[in-house]
Amino acid sequence: MKQLPQTFKRNGFTFGQMEREGNVAIYRKHKGRISSFEVVLIQSHNGRIIMGEVIPPSEFYPSSEQWGTKGWTLAEADYHGAHRKFLELLK
């Protein structure tokens, strides 16, 4: 299975994995001076065929529609809050 990268870019932001255990992870999201932490339940699929193209099994970031149930954003200076949410999700 293709894993979610530790570092990736999306919508002009850079995401860097700070911590991960199983499918629970903390990413730092930043662009210039703008920064926050995101705690996510990493999603996965067992492979798909989309418009005739075979997509191998892989992990992916929660969608915008899943925010609040599979992904949470915490303030720039709130790594401790992000870590608390991370530990809560591991239980």
Q: Over its length of 91 residues, how does the chain's per-residue pLDDT go in tens digits? A: 999 999 999 999 999 999 999 999 999 999 998 899 999 999 999 998 999 999 999 999 999 999 999 999 998 778 999 999 999 999 8
CA 17, CA 70: separation in Å to the nearest integer?
A: 16
Average pLDDT of the residues of the chain: 95
Distance set, CA 11 to CA 30, 54, 79 (Å) = 11, 25, 22
- For residue 2, give both structure tokens: 């293709």
pTM above threshold 0.75: yes
